[in-house]
Amino acid sequence: MTLLSDLESAADIVYRSIAPTPQFRWPLLCDRTGTEVWVKHENHTPIGSFKVRGGLVYLDWLRAEQSGLHGVVAATRGNFGQSIAFAARIHGLKAAIVVPQGNSVEKNAAMRSLGAELIEHGRDFQEAYEFTGQYAQRTGYHFVTSFHPLLWHGTASYGLELLRAVPGLETVYVPIGQGSGICGVLAARDALGLKTAVVGVVPVNAPAYALSLTAGKPVATDSADTIADGMACRVPDREAFEIIRAGAERIVTVSEAEIRAAMRHYFTDTHNVAEGAGAAPLAALLQEKNGMKGKKVALILSGGNVDASVYREVL
């Protein structure tokens, strides 16, 4: 079990660079879901995503451990890459970010604006990720993998904020990409000694972690074609899977139509922009609406970085 002091030390690193994000109870969302529902607004960080927290903690450790380091490289669909570029700039490091071909135009632009060198390679995240290891060997850059304890120690800071600010939460819905978000929430819950149920959410079109939970072992898929690009995982991380299997209540799969509807609901009910991954927890709650009626629930709005052209079509 991760110690609360370890998570608070990671949170202190996060707060050197960003402020805690708010959690709001929106009346229209409560009406829509039939619950007392709280939204944790990770779309309100400086990069529009919770991922910034993990990047700050990981690079703070890396800078202290490797004084001669001159650069880092990571694979991403956008938000993780922004987090690494954001933290690299703080520490005076070069950052190379590998994205698959056809990646989000606006997320690519955001990473470049943070000073990252952008490299397009592969048809999807998994191919970009495999290439990143080769790039690191060739250049000597440090390869920041998509799942590492320091990453979820950082993301646990939003879990601590939420669980302390809203006592008595019965259930928290969390989107799953590679797993750092849900593992952070699980760690925060356990460190605080709470009984809150943590429910993971994946798209029907990228169900690797749901299939893995059913099989009792990591199960890869051949594709992960979803509007929720932050959840487009084909190959689960084994360590993340074990943490999720041990601590999560269940994993809910949501359809593309349900994700799109949830993106619209966030706009009409809260006037917040939610990307696909950010909207997926609301889609899961609405799917389970009858069983959750009258309960005290939280949703992790993990990010708001969706291209205007995509969002226009969704609305």
Domains and CATH numbers, the chain: 4-49+149-314 (3.40.50.1100), 51-143 (3.40.50.1100)
Laid out side by side, the sheet with 117-120 consists of 117-120, 94-99, 71-75, 142-143
The DSSP code for 49 is: B
Q: Compute the average pLDDT of residues 245-259.
A: 98
Q: What percent of the chain has pLDDT over 90?
A: 94
Whether 114 has a pLDDT exceeding 90, the answer reads yes
Cβ-contact 257, 250 below 8 angstroms: no
Q: Compute the average pLDDT of residues 261-289.
A: 98
CA distances from 244 to 102, 212, 230, 247 (A): 30, 10, 18, 5
Q: Which two tokens mark 278?
A: 């950010």
65-113 residue pLDDT tens? 988 888 999 999 989 999 999 999 999 999 999 999 999 999 999 999 9
Q: Compute the average pLDDT of residues 21-45.
A: 98
Whether 125 has a pLDDT exceeding 80, the answer reads yes
- Are β-strands 250-254 and 197-203 bridged in parallel, bridged antiparallel, or unpaired? parallel
Whether 184 has a pLDDT exceeding 90, the answer reads yes
pTM of the shown model: 0.95
Reduced to 3 states (helix: H, G, I; strand: E, B; else coil), residue 252 is strand
Q: Which two tokens mark 173?
A: 């819905």
